[in-house]
Structure 1
């Protein structure tokens, strides 16, 4: 009796036909459900790619901003250092005249005159020389150094200023012959050009053989 109850009740032929149609349509419905879910997966892929591209763009912008800020910081530090280094340029340029006068004062005294001078005069001369050396030491400590050329050196328009030409010298045309006033640099900048006289080429017009342009 239990076996008869466990068998599906197909009922009438019409019922059996409907059951067959239902079973046949089931795979089709499952396929439609899968097709309906597929577009969501396909649409999700472009969103992920766009997100990755946006992240990469933001990262690139961040790196550019960081690099620009670092360059700005370095420029600010460099400008600050330059301002500190060259702030006293005008004062130092004026002090060069003091150094020139001290040097001229010592140079005017001949050796024999110095030997025959009184002890007080000798002490004064030594004091002037000591003052000049101390001033030059202070210049050096603050990055100011002398660039006075030696006779025979080639004229450099970036460092020297030609005041006159000297004909009939043993030096080649354009070479420094005489130094009127020493030159100085402060850091890497020209504080004062050395004022010099240069050798003139025989038969050349004045100034034709010397390049005085920087």
Structure 2
């Protein structure tokens, strides 16, 4: 009887020990299905919230780029419009001024037609009318040129020597009508002005027609 009781206790202890050792194996077996296939392969699972945030961030960046481009294009349009308006305002009288150039040249021709000795002679009854006519022409020309100068039209004479030296030929300002030798002058010097030039707000409206020195 005593031996049987010991045998039953030994068997009970073995059954308890076997059940306790099998439990962790069962737990480990139940954890495996919780892992995803991506985790088994070592891959990172992308968070859907993070993905949506990145997409929104890209959309914000694209909108910012579009806004900056729109602002730059608008500013460029403003600058072009301003330049066009300034150009239209500055050169609105260009065609009108060109039509006046021939009339202005006629003033010079009329004044040059009077011999210098008659203009320097003392005033008498014989030449009083002529001197009055020349004075009237000069006054009219002066008033006309001052009026045109207010609108940006100015005349230049290449034969003038402000520094005591002849001006050099400039194809941007002058048109050479002939070339000739001239003592005491260098090649390329302007020796004669056939017709004066005109500028409109800094732009050459008509080049001056000149004679140029060519000694060689």
Q: TM-score, normalised by structure 2?
A: 0.71
Shift of 1:83: 1.6
Q: Which 4+ stretches in 1 moved above 6 angstroms? A: none
Q: By how many angstroms is 1:117 displaced?
A: 5.2
Distance 1:174 1:111, change over 3 A: closer
Q: What's the C-alpha RMSD, in Å, of the aligned pairs?
A: 3.3
Q: C-alpha separation between the residues in 1 aligned to 2:207 and 2:124?
A: 36
Distance 2:68 2:88 in 1: 30
| 1:68-115: CA deviation from partner (whole Å, max 9, x where unpaired) | 111112211211221222122122012111111112222322344233
Residue segments in structure 1 that go unaligned for 5+ positions in a row: 1-16, 33-38, 203-214
Give the gaps of 5 or more residues in structure 2: 1-18, 35-43, 161-165
| Greater alpha carbon shift after TM alignment, 108-117 vs 62-71 | 108-117
Counterparts of 1:156-195 in structure 2, within 5 Å, are 156-195=170-209
Secondary structure of the corresponding residue to residue 47 of structure 2: helix
Structure of greater Rg:
2
Deviation, 1:126, is 1.5
| Structure 1 contact 169–199 (Cα < 8 Å) conserved | no
**In the alignment, does 2:87 pair up with 1:82?**
yes
Query: 1:53 aligns to what?
Result: 58
Take 2:153 and 2:72, find their aligned partners in 1: how far apart are those partners? Answer: 35
Structure-2 residue corresponding to 1:153: 167
Number of aligned residues: 181
Deviations 1:135-180 (A, max 9, x none): 1111211111223213621100011000001114321111111011
